[in-house]
Amino acid sequence: MANPAIQVAIPQRRYQYGEFLLIVLGDIESQDDIQYQYLVSIVPEGSNKPELFISAEKLPAGNEHKFQMRVLAEKAGQIVGHSDHWDKLEVFCQDALKVFAQVVDLSDERPLQLQ
């Protein structure tokens, strides 16, 4: 899976987490076949290009849960969880920050909300 093909997205929150800027996006329109509820765009300090994304993707009716969370890199993606509550920005942000901390091993860092 490639990075999301975002056409339009509205920034909802920004976090500084270690040496990374995390931008939480909502109201997303994309060219791929995925319905994104939220996306976290993760940009390393000193760069202007996202290195990683964490998504909350709407699942079709009939699935056990309403959403799946996926970690997306340039050429790979991995589902890391499911929930019925990632339509709530606060819940998604808390869970996405935990996943990000595990992925890049930021056990000594704490996220700072910028916006």
Instruction: State how beta strands 77-83 and 20-30 pair.
Output: unpaired
Q: What is the pLDDT of residues 28-49, one digit of tens each?
A: 999 988 999 999 999 999 999 9
CA 115 to CA 69: how far, in whole Å? 23
- Please report, for the chain, the start and end positions of each structural domain, with discontinuous segments joined by +: 6-108
Mean pLDDT of the chain: 92
User: By the 8 A CB rule, do 11 and 25 touch?
Assistant: yes
